[in-house]
Amino acid sequence: MTIEKVSIIVSKGSLDGIYPGLIMANGARAEGIEANLFFTFFGLDAITKKRQGHVKVATVGNPGLHLPTWAGAIPGASWAMTRYFERKMAALDIPPIPEFVRMIADTGAGIYACKATVDLFGLEKNDFVPEMNDILTVGEFYSLAAGGEIVFT
């Protein structure tokens, strides 16, 4: 038995919130599994022209980083941690978000934006990177996801 399709929802707007979904989509394509990425809420940042290149690590409220709150809150902490992560990821051949989204789209994965959030944030099609295939309602997402696994990240 094998997995035939994964539909991955990306809902968070931090680097550590976006990468897991991208890595899972990319890994699925590498195995020949159909993959769709559906960006919603703050996850939309990963596919808007304006914000795609400026996603940061969450340095407060993330005890996994082992930083005291005051350290995570000083100006520049999030920036420094973000650069640190990006360098570490580059060393593992994991590209920055804009290149990674392009690479995943090139493998044939679908890249979608959630209609409710697009309306909530007052965005339109032109605000998105060209890899974005379509803006879908929740109902359209369910149709697309049928026959596979739904993964909410």
Residue 17 binding a second copy, by CB under 8 A: yes
> 9 in helix, strand or coil?
strand
CA dihedral 111, 53, 65, 29 (to 10 degrees): 30
Residue 95 binding a second copy, by CB under 8 A: no
* Residue among 29, 2, 8, 38 at smallest CA distance from 108: 29
Residue 133 binding a second copy, by CB under 8 A: no
> 38 in helix, strand or coil?
strand
Residue 108 binding a second copy, by CB under 8 A: no
One residue of 16, 37, 97, 101 binding a second copy per CB under 8 A:
16
List binders of a second copy among 45-84 (CB under 8 A): 45, 51, 55-66, 68-70, 72-73, 75, 78
Say how far residue 45 (Cα) sits from the centre of its chain: 8
One residue of 1, 108, 124, 126 binding a second copy per CB under 8 A:
1
Residue 41 binding a second copy, by CB under 8 A: yes
Under rule CB under 8 A, how many of the chain's residues touch a second copy? 69
d(CA 95, CA 112): 20
> 107 in helix, strand or coil?
coil
Structure tokens at 152: 């909410």
d(CA 58, CA 36): 25
One residue of 31, 99, 106, 134 binding a second copy per CB under 8 A:
31
d(CA 17, CA 150): 17
Which spans of this chain sit near a second copy (rule: CB under 8 A)?
A: 1-3, 6, 9, 11-17, 19-20, 23-24, 26-28, 30-31, 33, 40-43, 45, 51, 55-66, 68-70, 72-73, 75, 78, 85, 88-89, 92, 94, 116, 119-120, 137-139, 141-143, 145-147, 149-153
